[in-house]
């Protein structure tokens, strides 16, 4: 039997899955990755930590699956998007820590570009707002604040998102390439020609010599060389950014299909088919995937903080030890007692796009307890998604009836029921929640012909539980009114 290895390099850790030809998970490994906060609003990763975490997770997954080194047919990669890496082309060594997608240090650069009147043109070409979330201003900051612009213009340095960095390492430094989904998150990619834009490179002062080649999501990007536990010559044949991979892994193959991934942040994507729908409500227009014979686009809305709010409550505040303890605490009260938490710890994403926004707690009284606060944190994660989904419905002209959910926090029944209530749609949860890695494996299998079409993938999708809206309309309206008032203060 042949197997596919999927590498999911995320914001807080790396996960590796081994799948067999029937899409069954045979092995799993994971390793945490520390984040660094050198200044307020700055978030960084050490690339040595990331590569080490991938190797550790890979070894654990292969050992659990009991797969021989010659049994791996393909490797897929999915990754935290927008996170920006520069490395030395000659040595392969990073020249700086990665600047993470959550990082807000380039807010002033973005504001300057918006004041210069470039926002409309940039959105027309890229489908994106000018925001520190994306890679272009991170690259410019590294070149200008660390003194590497001359080296970059001489072609001595390489830029990549995390997929490109991992591909470079997996191929022994021989390949500098990315896929269309990750390229579409840089502010340098023309959404319509599927190429790097000279106009955008000039606007954001990014030398073309830095940029990787661009390829579809399914197909051979390169072959392994000197990777522990895997023989040389295994094709890396599937790459997609994490949310695009999750959309694919959730079998959202029809126009109008949508999913929400509850990870560090919350990310809603809707398949818009062959049409790149321009958003009138501050959503992102992005490539969903490109596979042989098909190019699909999506609308996306991102909330920067979801699971990270649980981590903040448990680890930073130290109210309880674990997420399970927090949920039990939240269940001990019937509601949040009027408390609202807006988890804008790194600004507000779609549809607000306010990098200057900050987290806020409103509605506190003398009777507020830690249980009310725990419940309000979970509710805040769900309420921010309402703003996104309503904007998505207006842009697409479709009223969503169901939403597929995944990611670690999707296992929380209390959160999922509240999400279904305030959205007013059915939530469908699969038995396997790591659909980012699953989607990368499916793309890699398609890339080498292990699976011949999306039909086989769609047939394999299963529902573990459905959450139907249950809350009375008046109660929903009250939640939404309190939320809107709190967001206005943030």
- Mean pLDDT over residues 83-99, rounded? 93
CA distance 353 to 365: 30
Q: State residue 157's pLDDT score.
A: 95
Q: Where are the domains of the chain?
A: 3-243, 252-429+452-490
CATH fold of 252-429+452-490, please? Nucleotidyltransferase; domain 5 (3.30.420)
Taking only the tens place, the pLDDT of each residue in 428-455 is: 999 888 888 989 999 999 888 887 778 8
Domains 3-243 and 252-429+452-490 equal at CATH topology level: yes
Q: Which two tokens stand for residue 447?
A: 């890339």
* Residue 311 pLDDT grade (very low, low, confident, very high; cuts 50, 70, 90): confident
**Helices 370-396 & 413-423 angle (0-180, nearest 10):** 40
DSSP bridge pairs for 402? 426
Name the average pLDDT for the chain: 91
Residue 46 three-state SS? coil
CA distance 356 to 348: 8
Task: Assess whether pLDDT exceeds 90 at residue 302.
Answer: no
The Cα-based distances of 199 to 12, 81, 85, 152, 204 in angstroms read 34, 22, 22, 18, 9
Residue with tokens 């098909």: 294
For domain 3-243, which architecture applies? Answer: 2-Layer Sandwich (3.30)
Q: State residue 480's pLDDT score.
A: 93
Taking only the tens place, the pLDDT of each residue in 368-426 is: 999 999 999 999 999 999 989 988 988 888 888 899 999 888 999 999 999 999 999 99
Q: Which two tokens stand for residue 295?
A: 């190019």
Task: Assess whether pLDDT exceeds 80 at residue 83.
Answer: yes
Q: What percent of the chain has pLDDT over 90?
A: 68
């Amino acid at each position: 039997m042949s197997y596919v290895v999927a590498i999911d390099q995320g914001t807080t850790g790396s996960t590796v899955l081994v799948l067999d030809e029937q899409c069954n998970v045979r092995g799993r490994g994971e390793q945490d990755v520390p984040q660094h906060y050198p200044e307020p609003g700055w978030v960084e990763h050490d690339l040595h930590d990331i590569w080490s975490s991938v190797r550790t997770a890979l070894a654990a997954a292969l050992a659990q699956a009991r797969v021989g080194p010659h049994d791996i047919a393909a490797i897929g990669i999915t990754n935290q998007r927008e996170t920006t890496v520069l490395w030395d082309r000659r040595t392969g060594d990073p020249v700086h820590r990665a600047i993470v997608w959550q990082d807000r240090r380039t807010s002033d650069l973005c504001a300057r570009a918006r004041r210069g009147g470039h926002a409309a043109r940039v959105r027309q070409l890229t489908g994106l707002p000018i925001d520190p979330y994306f890679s272009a201003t991170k690259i410019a900051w590294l070149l200008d604040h660390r003194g590497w612009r001359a080296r970059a213009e001489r072609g001595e340095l390489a830029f990549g998102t995390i997929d490109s960095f991992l591909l470079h390492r997996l191929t022994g430094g021989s390949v500098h390439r990315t896929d269309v989904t990750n390229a579409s998150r840089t502010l340098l990619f023309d959404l319509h020609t599927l190429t790097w834009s000279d106009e955008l490179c000039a606007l954001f002062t990014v030398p073309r010599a830095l940029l990787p080649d661009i390829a579809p999501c399914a197909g051979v990007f390169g072959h392994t060389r000197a990777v522990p536990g895997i023989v040389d010559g295994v094709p890396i044949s599937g790459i997609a950014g994490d949310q695009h991979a999750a959309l694919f892994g959730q079998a959202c193959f029809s126009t109008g299909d949508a999913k929400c991934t509850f990870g560090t942040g919350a990310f809603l994507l809707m398949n818009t088919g062959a049409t790149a729908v321009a958003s009138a409500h501050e959503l992102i227009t992005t490539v969903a995937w490109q596979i042989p014979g098909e190019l699909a686009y999506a609308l996306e809305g991102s909330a920067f903080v979801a699971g990270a709010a649980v981590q903040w409550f448990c680890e930073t505040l130290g109210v309880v030890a674990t997420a399970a303890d927090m949920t039990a605490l939240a269940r001990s009260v019937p509601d949040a007692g009027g408390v609202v938490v807006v988890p804008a710890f790194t600004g507000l994403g779609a549809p607000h796009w306010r990098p200057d926004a900050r987290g806020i707690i409103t509605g506190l009284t003398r009777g507020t307890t830690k249980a009310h606060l725990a419940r309000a944190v979970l509710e805040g994660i769900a309420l921010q998604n309402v703003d996104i989904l309503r904007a998505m419905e207006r842009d697409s002209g479709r009223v969503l009836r169901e939403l597929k959910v995944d990611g670690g926090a999707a296992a929380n029944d209390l959160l999922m029921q509240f999400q279904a209530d305030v959205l007013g749609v059915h939530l469908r949860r699969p038995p396997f929640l790591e659909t980012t890695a699953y989607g990368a494996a499916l793309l890699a299998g398609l890339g080498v012909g292990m699976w011949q079409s999306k039909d086989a993938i769609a047939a394999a999708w299963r529902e573990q539980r459905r959450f139907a809206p249950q809350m009375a309309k008046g109660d929903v309206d009250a939640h939404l009114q309190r939320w809107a008032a709190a967001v206005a203060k943030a």
